[in-house]
Amino acid sequence: MNKIWVIIRREYITRVAKRSFLLMTILIPLLIFGFYAAIIAVAISGGNESQNIAVIDDASLFNGKIEDKENFSFTFIKGESIDNFRLKYHRQGYTSLLYVPNFDISQPSGITIFSESQMGPITKSRIERVVNNAIENKRMLAAKIDPNKLNSIKSDISLINKVGKGNEFRKGSSEVSSAVGYAAGILIYICMFIYGMMVMRGVMEEKINRIAEVIVSSVKPFQLMLGKIIGIGAVGLTQFVIWIVLMVILQFLIPVLFPGMAQAMSSQATQAATQQSSGLTAVAEGLKYLNFGLIIFAFLFYFIGGYLMYASLFAAVGSAVSEDQQEAQQLTLPITMPILLAFVIMTRAAAEPESGIAIFGSMFPLFSPIVMMARIPYGIGTTVPWWQLGLSMVFLILGFLFTTWLAGKIYRTGILMYGKKASWKEMWKWAFKS
């Protein structure tokens, strides 16, 4: 155990002390923050160009009135023919010209928008929406249907979901549970890929540089492999925690660094506050009933279990290849495919947590670290019975022990093999030879 600790300490210190670690740990949050700020800036500035649209309405479709919306203003032109006015509308300060000829209300056609340059799809769709609403109102009036009465008849309710058994029920939110489960599953999915590849590259580097030959003379290959997996995993966790802290700090710095952006955001937020208040209340209500203690515990368990299981397999592949990167990619395909398939099943489990494929995915060890986390926020003891959670954890532990044993057998042979191209058939022989 002392030798394993020495290897863990060596892997952790040597990697954390590298300049590349410090640069990536600081640069990645800054890059993410930069993209985030750019997205906000574009979202705020996008669509702010005013559209002053001239309208010649020969069909009296709009009855001389269109309500101005956002950056769109409409001006009706009287006493001008379309042939004359389309030659001079731009000189008079209009960005485009909407022409509505006389048409049959049952089969509208010929409505045209004139502009000097190609109109963007968003601008075009907004004008089309205005025209379509006017046509619908005309058709309702022709059918002697009061548009206001029709709007008052329409219904848009949200069902209240009560979760529980017997006399004990609580309010639930499938949207919030789905979002939390989806986020947790994606996080584990990304981490298993990134940290698993780190383990494989670390093993390959030591094998190429012949460092492993020296180390194996002092420790057993299995101890070396286990020490590398835990040490690199600790490096990844350290980097992950630093990223979270930096992103939280940078999030609070947005109003300070971009005061103009914050002001624009606040003005837009004021306009949308009424529409968003009910949605925010529903989200807060849904989060209140989530068992975050259990979710965090399960996340750590499935993150560590999934990482250890897949990292051991990546370490086995790293020990079997030398400098050929293409060979490494071919050998990692059988490992990455279950992770990708687990992600696909997770998207189904986040939407239908009690489906058969979701239950199977949360039980099978190669899938459960990702899939089970998509189901847990829906409720332990209700959507996810306790026996399913316990069985899933047991299967994951057994899967980790098996893959570690299997990878250790491959590792002890592969780490000292040079000049021979490995295959999964060859690695299988290494694993089960006495």
pLDDT tens, 136-192? 888 888 888 887 887 788 777 766 666 656 666 555 556 777 788 888 888 888 888
Strand partners, 114: 97
Of 40-54, 148-162, 299-313, 398-412, least confident by mean pLDDT is 40-54
Range 304-307, long-range pairs (CB < 8 A, 24+ positions): 304/233, 305/369, 305/393, 305/396, 305/397, 305/399, 305/400, 306/188, 306/192, 306/368, 306/369, 306/370, 306/396, 307/191, 307/192, 307/195, 307/196, 307/233
DSSP state of 334: H
Range 89-92, long-range pairs (CB < 8 A, 24+ positions): 89/54, 89/114, 90/116, 92/54
Range 152-157, long-range pairs (CB < 8 A, 24+ positions): none
Q: Is the pTM of this model over 0.75?
A: no
**72-76/112-115 β-pairing:** unpaired
The CATH class given to the 51-150 domain equals alpha beta
**420: helix, strand or coil:** coil
d(Cα 34, Cα 250) in Å, to the nearest integer? 10
Of 329-338, 344-353, 357-366, least confident by mean pLDDT is 329-338
Mean pLDDT of all residues in 270-281: 46
pLDDT in the model for residue 9: 86
Per-residue pLDDT for 382 more than 50? Answer: yes
pLDDT in the model for residue 265: 46
d(Cα 404, Cα 305) in Å, to the nearest integer? 11
What's the half-sphere exposure (Cβ side, CA atoms, 13 Å) at 154?
7
Mean pLDDT of all residues in 196-214: 75
**In the chain, where are the structural domains located?**
2-35+172-250+284-432, 51-150
What is the separation of C-alpha 164 from the centre of its chain, rounded to a whole number of angstroms? 30
Of 96-100, 188-192, 335-339, least confident by mean pLDDT is 188-192
Q: Which element (helix H / strand E) includes 433? A: none
